[in-house]
Amino acid sequence: MITEILILLISFIILLGIGVPVAWSIGISSLLTMLVTIESLPAFTTVAQRMATGLDSFALLAIPFFVLAGQIMNQGGIAERLITFAKSLIGALPGGLSYVNVISAMLFGAISGSALAATSAIGGILGPHMEKEGYSKEFGAALNVTSSTTGLVIPPSNILIVYSLASGGVSIAALFLAGYVPGILMGLALMGVAAVWIKRKKYPAGERSSVKQIFTSFLHAFPSLFLLVVVIGGIVAGIFTATEASGIAVLYSLILSFVYREMDMKKLYSVFLGSVRTNSIVMLLIATSMAMSWVMSYEDIPQSVSSALLGLSDNKYVILLMINLILLFVGMFMDMTPAVLIFTPIFLPVVKDLGVDPVHFGIMMVMNLCVGLCTPPVGSVLFVGVGIAKTTIQKVIKPLIPLFIAMLIVLLLVTYIPEISTWLPGLMDD
């Protein structure tokens, strides 16, 4: 057992260390483990079959559709209207653009379901405005990067669909409902840090909007906001599945972008091309991660880890803290999708034995890995946000640290107060 774990872990770390892409590192380390330790099965054929079987899921169809919807929204003028609406509401407060940044990222991230899309859209539009009004590039980038991850918790969220698959069928509707309160808490915590930073730096207030301007900006943003009602309302009410909702999201956002006159055939081609590129990476990650999950299951690695953890302590709170620490470390080096697919089968049986709700654990896990998106060396959202702001990671670290601390405090609250995530799904069950 130890031999299999060592081969899998060491080969994976070495491959990552020499610059092999994550998806290939996962696939090759899984194949190598089979070649060395499972001589009774044809390794190449088995890994290929498991990769293909891993993608053979109707629920997974939702991911490419939501990715495409996010790309359309990013290019279709939706982000700009959400920013204008948020700015009309709170832009007049001292340092109001900071709050606008967070709220806009929450809204756009929730609608698009993509932290990267929110980072690029909000940072690209709002960043220059913040800099013009005296905000530092580094503070704006740090706030944009961290607030963009809230859209992975607030539904619709692709990573929650991935967790549903990895967990063996936890309700997607329940996961979507469970994400609202934790996601909003995360946004409020980031706004709290921004408020302290604003007071210290004495950032300026913006112009106060009239009632007419607020109403007009709301009317312009309402069709975009209504997408959330259509998608989430339809899933929760049982009118359509998450996969069908993702197709509706594509159609709705496409029509909306043409109504806004922000989309043409040339842009649409680049949107489809960008979506194909993103989806090809995501699906390869899912396929190889499913192969690795099967290898680990065949070798009884999840059961061994479960026994080891429960051998250290039978205290639920201690185990949850240990899992959080492991996931925080993993998130620094691995993308969210493979992390969820690989570690859900390992940790979920442990927490279920301790009486933890799988929906609660899913939200905890996703929130934990959101922190990894903002940390080097692999934090994809961090690199995108820094690139858009035209600054460096070294300069962004200082304003980023208090925002990290706020995210970790909310993570601990969600971990140890399960009602934060289970309250809304519980209401729907009553």
From first to last of its 430 residues, what are the pLDDT tens digits of the chain?
A: 577 778 888 888 888 788 888 788 888 988 888 888 777 778 888 888 888 887 887 777 888 888 888 778 777 777 778 778 877 877 667 777 788 888 888 877 777 667 777 777 777 777 777 777 777 888 888 888 898 888 888 888 888 888 998 888 888 889 988 999 999 999 999 999 988 888 887 766 666 777 788 888 888 888 888 887 888 788 777 788 878 888 888 888 888 888 888 888 888 888 888 888 878 888 888 888 888 888 887 877 777 777 777 778 878 899 999 999 988 888 877 778 888 888 888 899 889 888 899 999 999 999 999 888 888 766 778 877 888 888 887 888 888 899 999 999 999 999 999 999 999 888 776 5
Considering only CA atoms, which of 174, 125, 117, 198 is closest in space to residue 150? 117
pLDDT at position 91 is 66
Q: How many CA atoms lie within 13 A of 107 on its CB side?
A: 25
Q: Where are the domains of the chain?
A: 2-429
pLDDT at position 89 is 78
pLDDT at position 205 is 65
- 3-state SS assignment for residue 205: strand
Q: How many CA atoms lie within 13 A of 20 on its CB side?
A: 15
pLDDT at position 407 is 93
Helical segments of 153-300, H only: 158-166, 172-178, 180-201, 211-236, 242-259, 265-298
- What number of helices (H) and strands (E) belong to the chain? 21, 0
pLDDT at position 1 is 58
Considering only CA atoms, which of 313, 409, 414, 300 is closest in space to residue 356? 414
8-state DSSP, 149: G
What is the sign of the dihedral through the CA atoms of 38, 44, 45 and 51? positive
Dihedrals phi, psi of 335, to nearest 5 degrees = -65, 160
d(CA 70, CA 220): 19
User: Cα–Cα distances in Å, from 367 out to 112, 214, 309, 340?
Assistant: 17, 32, 22, 11
94: which strand partners? 205
Structural contact between residues 366 and 167, judged by C-beta atoms closer than 8 angstroms? no
Q: Please, what is the end-to-end C-alpha distance for the chain in angstroms? A: 45
The H-or-E segment that residue 430 falls in is: none
d(CA 222, CA 227): 9
pLDDT at position 97 is 79
Considering only CA atoms, which of 71, 66, 135, 67 is closest in space to residue 101? 135
- 3-state SS assignment for residue 94: strand
pLDDT at position 414 is 95
